[in-house]
Structure 1
């Protein structure tokens, strides 16, 4: 893997870089904010609602408040850092093309999840796992030049959990205890698609 630049900054020894310093300052502030506060500042209401339902779902599945909180914190930090990079024009032309490919792939994956929920016996675990892994790979490529190994670890943690075959099988069982959470998640996802935020 290529050597990454130090924490959202410019090449060392390249002279004074106000934009790089600004980015590092944003990242430092980000690291000091609580996850809930960070979510309110950087994440819209629908996304916040989705994260709340995902938290309840993952907590019920894992039986671990700590693991569920870690998953949500990792999602929020990934989303916010990518948002900061995007708003500060840090992505080059190829990365912007990759970001658009990721957005389309992620939207397609979300639409598949909705379809698997709404249409009986349509669940295709292998397709969903493959689609999530392709999304993970695109996201890792997108952040590779900008973020640290710790951020890559967060991406891996989130996608490893949600692409887990046993988790997906449990989630889409018709009599699953997770169904109550999935109903709410699907409602928010449908709304976000209508709003154009996915």
Structure 2
């Protein structure tokens, strides 16, 4: 076997091992090894928000676990240069669309009575489609289902209405999330 074939084989094996190890992770704390402090704090607050909204710890755990797995798997694929030129274009389009959506969401949170549910649902749907296009060649149907689950949660109209209700019990968690999102936007992480 040539050295190039061995490298390709070992690189592919290493990638499979990394993805398999990630698949076995169940703890947010273990996953934080792969995620910086700001993102970890943001995920903690999204967890609290989801738990408060759903009144269900299992649902909140599932949402955060899926976000972490998707994020880390895509990071592993990117670091191992698995995306082709077309997929890199899709990734760039996703990043631009996601950043714009987050900036708009933050604006909706900071300026009362500006929330546009149709815009948010459309932007979330666009991001979901782009992300699915990016990973379709690399991840299993189960992983793609995680993408659908995460975006589906945030696209829920009742959830959005409760976020932007002036008397919502979710407001304190939402305020902390907005601070985290602003920090990530300033750092260029989003």
- Of 39, 44, 66, the match for 1:52: 44
8 Å CA contact 2:25, 2:31 repeated in 1:
no
8 Å CA contact 1:78, 1:155 repeated in 2:
yes
Structure 2 equivalent of residue 94 of structure 1: 86
The CA deviation string for residues 136-194 of structure 1, in whole angstroms up to 9 with x for no partner, is: 00000000000000001100100110010110011011111110110000011111111
Structure 2 stretches of 5 or more lacking a match? Answer: none
* TM-score normalized by the length of structure 2: 0.94
8 Å CA contact 1:102, 1:135 repeated in 2:
yes
* RMSD (Å) for aligned C-alpha atoms: 1.4
The CA deviation string for residues 25-48 of structure 1, in whole angstroms up to 9 with x for no partner, is: 111222233332432211011110
Structure 1 stretches of 5 or more lacking a match? Answer: 1-13
Cα distance, 1:107 vs. partner? 0.5
Take 1:145 and 1:50, find their aligned partners in 2: how far apart are those partners? 29
Structure 1 equivalent of residue 128 of structure 2: 136
* TM-score normalized by the length of structure 1: 0.90
Structure 2 equivalent of residue 189 of structure 1: 181
Take 1:115 and 1:37, find their aligned partners in 2: how far apart are those partners? 31
The aligned runs of 1:169-184 (5 Å cut-off) are: 169-184=161-176
State the number of aligned residues: 185
Take 2:111 and 2:28, find their aligned partners in 1: how far apart are those partners? 35
Q: Which structure shows the bigger proportion of residues in helix conformation?
A: 2
SS for the counterpart of 1:34 is coil
- The reply to whether residue 147 of structure 1 matches residue 161 of structure 2 is no
- Of 92, 96, 113, the match for 2:105: 113
Take 1:32 and 1:142, find their aligned partners in 2: how far apart are those partners? 23
Single out whichever of 21-30 and 135-144 deviates more from structure 2. 21-30
Take 1:194 and 1:87, find their aligned partners in 2: how far apart are those partners? 23
- The reply to whether residue 65 of structure 1 matches residue 57 of structure 2 is yes
